[in-house]
Structure 1
Amino acid sequence: MKILSVGIPCYNSAEYMRHCIESLLPAGDEIEILIVDDGSQKDNTLEIAQEYERNYPGICRAIHQENGGHGEAVNTGLKNATGVFYKVVDSDDWVDHDSLMKVMDTLRRFVQQNQTLDMLICNFVYEKQGAARKKVMNYRSAFPIEQLFTWEDVKHFHLGQYILMHSVIYRVQMLREAELELPKHTFYVDNIFVYQPLPHVKSMYYLDVNFYRYFIGRDDQSVNEQVMIGRIDQQYLVTRLMMSYYDVTKVQPEKLRNYMTRYLEIMMTVCSILAIRSGTPENLQKKKELWQELREKNLRLWLRLRWGFLGQGMNIPGKSGRKVSSAAYKIAQKFYGFN
């Protein structure tokens, strides 16, 4: 029986995918490593995936698909998953060995005791290239540690503290019942992955280990600031999709509603700051239209986001106001260690 299925979206990943796969192999026969080649053409990604399938039969599977983007590779992993739980690990990232053992022990215990666990949360580490200090995202202030809990038991999220794709392991059947399907050929869909299923998540468990190692710092990464500005339309598309899934002002329970609202707040902030940092009239107009669209579709949510702390900071009028917003972003960037 497979306890954990891990989807690894790969696109021209030959340079670093071995490190990712090797970090997962110590989990042995209880793990299923789904190496999804998303139509790679520039290197031998598929051949490497097939090599691991030959060398580790019953553990590694090589899956080839026509290029559909990161989200479609995540979808393919989920469709092929035979484990009880599902995790996504990007091909340039990896997991910590000792933490992996603890994760597997925890998931195994829930399976053996026939207890339903919808979402396991762990810490992740920003493995930023060239950074001496590694920023760790933990959730000690937000969740009870090593106990089953619900949204009613959630405590306090700090500013900048969010559940990200790196943090979560989901129950496969819950994801399928939530009908999670990420859009094709779209960047930044990891936000949808950790937002759309949330109302279906009833039981959670926080394991306080630094499990996921999130590599960041390559110039061509999708989270590089200049790359994000170049793909600003993708960021706006994902934000619009997220706001379309639910009327978040009516979500229950209250703590879940508050969390999902804050997540939309950070998405609107990212969209706004990218437009401001780009400095182009075209992108500033897109920012204005996004906020206006939100006002027309959901006035209650617009009031909450527009007049919240971040919303006010992203909408200071004039050129000098945009300078203030940009400066605040740079401070947050240095403090939190992203990009």
Structure 2
Amino acid sequence: MKTLTISVAAYNVENTLEKTLSSFNDPRVYQDLEVLIIDDGSKDNTKKIALKYQNIAPETFKYIAKENGGHGSTINKGIELATGKYFKVVDGDDWVDTSSLYTFIQKLKMQDSDLVLTNHVEVYPDHSTKVNLINGMHSGQQYSWNDDINIKRVVLHTLTVKTSLLRKAKVHITEKCFYVDVEFVIWAAYVSKSITYLDLYLYMYRLGEKNQSVAKANMLKNIKMQEKVSYQLVRMYDRFMTENHMLPRQEETIFNTFKRSVGSTMRTYLLMPTATAKKNIIKFDSNIKQISTTSFQRLNDDRFIHLIRKGNYAMVPLAKVMYRIWVLKYGY
């Protein structure tokens, strides 16, 4: 069994895949690492680049071709085919720090925690920012959700999870849709009981490119997909609360992740004309309440969502102005 399987979501990524795969190409980790390059029906040279690395180290790099099914389908296929004890997702336009990857795998070989968290770096065209979402955890020490830890939220770039737990829970991510990474990370947090944090800046997350799904214009274009994922997260949170398996700190971490996605959908509406934004937000929020009153009420604890709802959504025009100023200043 390999120590780590990395599932690479690859759809028309000929311009970035070389950088992604080369970051895994370290002979020191060949024996312990499996890289599944899951080609989601690409029409460019994605296959050619993937096969180049499969020829370099066939024991490590494996090319898998499939019909187009979206990001979620590549994660589902990766979970199905993985042979590693641990499972991690890396998008085909991102990469890892190779030196950190070697250290990470050496430490991972000595781990048995369900969930292993690391740091990541946001890489923009003109600068980069180191991001650490963990407080109160010593690097390399195993914790449980009962311990006094503060995980602000979980994101795709920070987590590695035991493959067996994903399979046991029959994790299936929504297909033919963007923005589904949050489904995966919430599942990973939910199925995990033990957690270890490793103080490594492993994942290099590319941002600031116009063609990315997280670019503002594309988020507006794909708002229906954001809605779909938000509704799925409401159902997941409601189910997890109903099953009553979550510990308080686990619930808090999952909620912080969940609310951010719902809030992001509302913020995308704010890019629309005021009357349209208000109409869509009211409809969206009403749908959440219809799906789950538990989730609807819990979302009141988020300051932004609480503000949006205040006075029967009377604050939407002000929120729109404030958000425009924020976007102009920070770009997100």
The alignment's TM-score, normalised by the length of structure 2, stands at 0.90
What's the counterpart of residue 36 of structure 2? Answer: 34
What's the counterpart of residue 150 of structure 1? Answer: 144
Q: Could you tell me whether the CA contact under 8 Å between 2:35 and 2:61 is conserved in 1?
A: yes
Q: Which moved more, 1:321-330 or 1:210-219?
A: 321-330
Change (3 A) 1:275 1:256: same
Matches of 2:134 and 2:200 in 1, distance apart? 11
SS in 2 for 1:25: coil
Change (3 A) 1:164 1:138: same
Matches of 1:208 and 1:87 in 2, distance apart? 17
1:298: how far off? 3.1
What's the counterpart of residue 126 of structure 1? Answer: 122
What's the counterpart of residue 95 of structure 1? Answer: 96
Q: Which amino acid aligns with 1:260?
A: I
Q: Which moved more, 1:136-145 or 1:163-172?
A: 136-145
What's the counterpart of residue 287 of structure 1? Answer: 281
Tell me the alpha carbon deviations over residues 266-323 of structure 1, each in whole angstroms, 9 at most, x when there is no partner: 2221111111222265554332122122333433432332364122222356998334
Ranges in structure 1 where 5+ consecutive residues have no aligned partner: 111-115
Matching of residue 8 in structure 1 with residue 8 in structure 2:
yes
* RMSD (Å), alpha carbons: 2.3
What's the counterpart of residue 70 of structure 2? Answer: 69
Change (3 A) 1:154 1:21: farther
Q: Which amino acid aligns with 1:108?
A: K
- The match for 2:309 among 315, 324, 334 is 315
Q: Could you tell me whether the CA contact under 8 Å between 1:140 and 1:208 is conserved in 2?
A: no
Q: Could you tell me whether the CA contact under 8 Å between 1:24 and 1:100 is conserved in 2?
A: yes
Q: Which amino acid aligns with 2:254?
A: M
Matches of 1:172 and 1:331 in 2, distance apart? 43
- The match for 2:199 among 190, 204, 208 is 208
Ranges in structure 2 where 5+ consecutive residues have no aligned partner: none
Q: Could you tell me whether the CA contact under 8 Å between 2:154 and 2:253 is conserved in 1?
A: no
Q: Could you tell me whether the CA contact under 8 Å between 1:273 and 1:314 is conserved in 2?
A: no
**Identity over aligned pairs, percent:** 25
Q: Could you tell me whether the CA contact under 8 Å between 2:4 and 2:85 is conserved in 1?
A: yes
What's the counterpart of residue 45 of structure 1? Answer: 46
Tell me the alpha carbon deviations over residues 69-111 of structure 1, each in whole angstroms, 9 at most, x when there is no partner: 111112112211111111111111111122112210111112x
Matching of residue 254 in structure 1 with residue 256 in structure 2:
no
What's the counterpart of residue 326 of structure 1? Answer: 320
Matches of 2:312 and 2:146 in 1, distance apart? 42
Q: Which amino acid aligns with 2:9?
A: P
The alignment's TM-score, normalised by the length of structure 1, stands at 0.88
Q: Could you tell me whether the CA contact under 8 Å between 2:183 and 2:233 is conserved in 1?
A: yes
Q: Could you tell me whether the CA contact under 8 Å between 1:118 and 1:203 is conserved in 2?
A: yes
Matches of 1:31 and 1:322 in 2, distance apart? 49
Change (3 A) 1:56 1:268: same
